[in-house]
Amino acid sequence: MKIKKGDTVEIISGTSKGTRGAVLAVDPGKGNVTVEGVNRVYKHVRRGHPKSPQGGRLHVELPIDASNVQLICPETDKPTRVGVRTADDGSRELFARRSGAAIRQLAPARK
């Protein structure tokens, strides 16, 4: 999975289509990502819960499938597919297919 915690993504399908947010958590085993402000639901908690000692309703973001999000291209500021390319020195980087801009380095150069 090429999406990491902290990346900015845009929702490309579903009720929150077009919404952007930061990735809060990634579950590569299930192929899910949790995005800030997307798929928010109420979780009812009893009194004495560590997050809410007085009880009540908490807003919680639930995970969505990773196929419903795309990374944002740093150059064009639009959602893009991503790929991995290897440089001559052996380093690998994640790049935006829309513009070819580098997003982040995946592996350092080989010695």
Residue 46 sits in the same domain as residue 97: no
- H-only helix segments in the chain: none
Give the H or E element holding residue 106: strand 102-107
Residue 36 sits in the same domain as residue 79: no
Which domain does 83 fall in, by range? 75-111
24-40: pLDDT as tens digits: 999 999 999 999 999 99
**What is the CATH number for 42?**
2.30.30.30
Q: Structure pTM?
A: 0.83
Residue 66 sits in the same domain as residue 79: no
Q: Which stretches of the chain drop beneath a pLDDT of 50?
A: none
Residue 37 sits in the same domain as residue 90: no
Residue 90 sits in the same domain as residue 39: no
Two tokens, residue 17? 């289509």
- Number of domains observed in the structure of the chain: 2
Residue 46 sits in the same domain as residue 90: no
